């Protein structure tokens, strides 16, 4: 039975260690290798000390957009020598190059909301809140369930920015210490990348699904954090905990779709130039003593 290894630190509410998961071959994901988290902007000096000195943090994989980073500013880990930062946005049109400063631009999912309202489209593969957006019925295709909608949404990350997804996995594999993957809430973008990493080293579906769904325990606290943040406050004003909570069926459908379309996560990675030596490097990182 899966039990989340929560890391309780001041400044985050959805951080956990993926150590302890057992692969189909009987190997075990080692502690202090791969962490996942919500936004790291509010970490206290004491929390930073725990991450760096006690947990051995060496790399941060930031999946937020350029707009989020600009509006939220540099987090405290940016000032820590020896901690490398890898920024890999999962939105195709999100760029640091624009005539409008990033801090003044709308978030990508807000732009998608406006486009949806203007065109009357039936469904939009976009985030309408940090992680995940709310789920108004008109955003789904007729007959499409919540879980079908969101599994397709996560696949859109792979379609829109496969370069960022693969780069994030390379950053995990190349880290010489603990690496934390995060976005805003630490659920959807983070869940997709972490899920691929776990599947690539042989973690069974049931554990990947259980870890993904564990974030539901922290959704109320996540929303409390983000509602007072400049980048997210207005967009979260009318969202509910129920709308924001992940379910097991969403990740199950995502993994099933990867199996059906590509023969699994490694099959998709193979289409992006990922090699068996990359897989072995990731396995050494996460599984070796």
**Once rounded to an integer, what is the mean pLDDT over residues 138-158?**
69
Residue bearing tokens 């790399």? 59
- Least confident segment among 59-68, 135-144, 161-170: 135-144
Q: What does the pLDDT read at residue 134?
A: 37
DSSP state of 209: H
Query: What CATH number has the domain bearing residue 269?
Result: 3.90.190.10
% residues pLDDT > 70 (the chain)? 80
Residue 102 has pLDDT above 70, yes or no: no
Percent of the chain at pLDDT exceeding 90: 66
Contacts of 170 (CB under 8 A, 6+ apart): 278
Strand partners, 179: 34, 59
Residue 20: both structure tokens together? 């302890």
Instruction: Identify the three-state secondary structure at position 62.
Output: strand
For the cut 50, the answer to whether the pLDDT of residue 127 exceeds it is no
Average pLDDT of span 95-105? 55
The pLDDT value given to residue 109: 58
Report how far apart the first and last C-alpha atoms of the chain are (Å, whole number).
Answer: 23
16 vs 237, residue with greater confidence: 16
Q: How many domains in the chain?
A: 1
20-34, 68-82, 197-211, 214-228: segment of lowest average pLDDT: 68-82
How, if at all, do strands 5-6 and 57-62 pair? unpaired
Range of the domain at 128: 5-287
**Which residues neighbour 176 within 8 Å (Cβ) at sequence distance 6 or greater?**
58
The token pair at 264 is 């699994």
Strand 84-87 relative to strand 34-37: parallel, antiparallel, unpaired? unpaired
Cβ proximity of 122 and 138 under 8 Å: yes
pLDDT score for 138: 34
State residue 106's pLDDT score.
63
- Bridge partners of 28? 22
Q: What is the mean pLDDT of residues 274-288?
A: 98
Provide the pLDDT for residue 237: 85
Confidence of residue 283 (pLDDT cuts 50, 70, 90): very high
60 contacts 182 by C-beta, under 8 angstroms: yes
Helical axes 189-200 vs 205-214, angle rounded to 10°: 160
- For residue 202, report the phi and psi dihedrals to the nearest 5 degrees: 100, 15
Mean pLDDT of 154-177: 95
pLDDT at residue 103 in the model: 58
* Average predicted confidence (pLDDT) for the chain: 86
What was the pLDDT predicted at 276? 98
Buried residues in 117-137 as b, exposed as e (16+ CB within 10 A): eeeeeeebbbbbbbbbbbbee
- pLDDT, mean of residues 213-231: 94
Residue 194 has pLDDT above 60, yes or no: yes
For residue 110, what pLDDT is reported? 58
């Amino acid at each position: 039975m899966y039990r989340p290894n929560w890391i309780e630190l001041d400044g985050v509410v959805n951080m956990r260690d993926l150590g302890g998961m057992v692969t189909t071959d009987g190997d075990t994901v080692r502690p202090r290798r791969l962490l996942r988290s919500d936004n790291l902007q509010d970490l206290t000096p004491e929390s930073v000390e725990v991450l760096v000195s006690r947990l051995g943090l060496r790399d941060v994989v930031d999946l937020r957009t350029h707009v989020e980073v600009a509006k939220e500013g540099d987090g405290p880990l940016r000032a820590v020598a020896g901690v490398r930062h890898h920024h890999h946005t999962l939105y195709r049109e999100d760029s640091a190059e624009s005539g409008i400063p990033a801090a003044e631009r709308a978030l990508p999912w807000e732009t998608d909301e406006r486009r949806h309202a203007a065109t009357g489209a039936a469904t939009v593969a976009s985030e309408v809140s940090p992680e995940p957006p709310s789920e108004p019925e008109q955003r789904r295709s007729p007959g499409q369930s919540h879980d079908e909608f969101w599994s397709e949404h996560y696949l859109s990350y792979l379609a829109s920015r496969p370069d960022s997804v693969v780069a994030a996995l390379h950053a995990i594999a190349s880290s010489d210490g603990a690496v934390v993957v995060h976005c805003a809430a630490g659920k959807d973008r983070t869940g997709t990348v972490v899920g691929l990493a776990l599947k690539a080293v042989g973690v069974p579906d049931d554990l990947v699904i259980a870890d993904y769904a564990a974030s539901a325990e922290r959704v109320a606290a996540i929303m409390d954090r983000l509602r007072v943040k400049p980048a997210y406050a207005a967009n979260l004003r009318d969202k509910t905990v129920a709308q924001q909570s992940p379910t097991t069926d969403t990740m199950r459908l995502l993994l099933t779709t990867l199996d059906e379309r590509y023969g699994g996560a490694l099959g998709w990675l193979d289409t992006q130039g990922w090699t068996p030596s990359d897989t072995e490097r990731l396995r050494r990182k996460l599984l070796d003593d």
